[in-house]
Chains A and B, each alone.
Chain A
């Protein structure tokens, strides 16, 4: 096993480098909301027709306000909740057909936001980390050796921490344990759902460094979910912007930060406090709270808060369209030639 020590072998890379590690197509999840006796049943459209790919070795950030469906997306990808519609392909394989759910668990793991709630308070840290490998057939002894090795990998001395309980350590240390637990099955994809959001800034930076190092060492791929744009920019290669359950824009991180195309992305970025006076934008930051996802606005869901909204935005839903060769995509009439929006680029400009 060489340098991997007692670590489990990751599941085989079947598709090669060109095959996206994760392909998500039309992912949809609606939650029914119980109405009164005389009122109609309603649904929360938590995730609506979301599509994207994650390439091997990259880090894809997902940003958006709270309630925009980021965490639901994470749980859908992990198959912790069942999707209503859509396809999720892992390394080109459909779960249930080409890949069993159990195998998928080996290939894909998740770190949760609440470091305390995501550790069983009755288990020692060692037991928590060793649980997964034992489920996958490792005997107790080697599972413990593996757990201690992983504690070491995440910067916690096993001889000090192995026998401790979650309440006895700090939030940052707990999140390291959660990372170790996620890595215990040698996954190739790790979903980090607001994994550093609850930490102090100084601790957050250390955990981010750790994540970067682990990524390099184990050749991991990350999906990094956060509402903190600074952190997303620091760690991500590409970014997905979600608004009320939909993807409104996606592209390489620098491209998005330099030339955000969707008014929502611009507003998010404008709302960030910037150190550089030249970078401060003139456009108004977001006003008000996001609308209720139980009853999202028709067509473009952002049109109720958009400074450029026109009648077309409330009647025709914009589709994700490619802007450039680098994969920058946006769902907005403003950027779609011939959309009917007065500020949309002309058809000619597109052809030329």
Chain B
């Protein structure tokens, strides 16, 4: 044995030696934490998310309690730091409470589509042949619709409501994620380690779970993060059209719609809900870019 132990190892990068072996995701997280833009976006998102979740404990005014006397107060009014809306309700409270439904309807469809689309895409990509053809040709039909049109068509047919809005957006995003998952799976499937795994007697499900999933999750995750940005805009857009949340629930898209009457009287307050959608959307977008470069994905 001694004759073979003395092999000279090319020295990996110094940092690699110092930190020892690192998993893929911890490497990605470390690289991401060195990107100031990503960190700022993550902090903003965490703050918005946390305030939405813990809204009842923040000592805010009642987001449903209006008053005809104090309608459309400007930003900076005492007791109403962000003014009041067209029914005299506190904007700060409504914006923070509004995050609950807006974030839910924006993020949940992508999560659902991520689970479904990843599974479909991996199976289609790994199995190939007829299964692949069946899945991917079905996907093609959905690609024949612009995504906004598809979302509105499904929502319009199903009728207004939060659940319908989530369902329609999930249906819109499944094909997109499936396509990404399928293409990265095909790239992975042709690598030798998949053959090695097959040669060790593992079944397709085990191989997909152990060897394919870990290698495709990164790119799909990046794509899905970017999709949340689109999903936020679409979900609030559906509410804006009257196809999502119904009054008096606070939700950014719906608030933007009802405040349209106030664009002459109180333009800053009228624009605030849209600014929230914008903030969340751009943070997810930039975070997706940061993740992409942290994972070294070329597009």
Contacts and interface: CB of A to CB of B under 8 A. Distances in A.
**In the complex, are there CB atoms of A and B closer than 8 Å?**
yes
A181 B193 CA distance: 11
B210 A124 contact: no
Contact residues of B: prevailing secondary structure: helix
A278 interface: no
A240 interface: no
A6 interface: no
Contacts of B202: 131-132, 135
Interface residues of A, number: 44
B18 interface: no
Given A80-B198, A135-B202, A118 B192 contact: yes
A114 B7 contact: no
A339 B22 CA distance: 65
A155 B211 CA distance: 26
Given A122-B215, A164-B21, A170-B9, A132 B201 contact: yes
A274 interface: no
A206 interface: yes
Nearest to B200: A132
Nearest to A152: B1
Contact of B3 (A101, A110, A168, A209): A209
A117 B191 contact: yes
A165 B21 contact: yes
A161 to B, nearest CB: 9
A13 interface: no
A105 B199 contact: yes
Given A80-B195, A112-B196, A105 B7 contact: no
A301 interface: no
Contact of B201 (A105, A124, A181): A105
Contact of B10 (A136, A155, A170, A184): A170
B7 A170 contact: yes
Nearest to B2: A155
B59 interface: no
A210 B201 contact: no
Q: Which of B20, B193, B198 has the most CB of A within 10 A?
A: B193
B195 A169 contact: no
A210 B196 contact: no
Contacts of A135: 200-202, 206
B3 A206 contact: yes
A238 interface: no
B24 A117 contact: no
A317 B118 CA distance: 52
A75 B195 CA distance: 9
Contact of A120 (B3, B12, B193, B201): B193
A172 interface: yes
Nearest to A108: B199
Given A80-B199, A170-B7, 18 more contacts: A78-B199, A102-B201, A109-B200, A110-B195, A122-B23, A122-B214, A131-B200, A132-B201, A132-B202, A135-B206, A136-B200, A163-B20, A165-B23, A170-B10, A173-B7, A184-B200, A185-B200, A209-B3
List the 5 closest A-B pairs by CB distance, nearest first: A105-B201, A132-B200, A118-B192, A122-B214, A117-B192
19 contacts: A80-B195, A112-B195, A113-B192, A119-B193, A120-B193, A120-B197, A121-B215, A123-B210, A123-B211, A131-B197, A131-B202, A131-B210, A155-B5, A163-B21, A165-B22, A168-B16, A170-B9, A206-B3, A209-B3
Interface of A: 75, 78, 80, 101-102, 105-106, 109-110, 112-114, 117-124, 128, 131-132, 135-136, 155, 163-165, 168-170, 172-173, 178, 181, 184-185, 203, 206-207, 209-210, 213
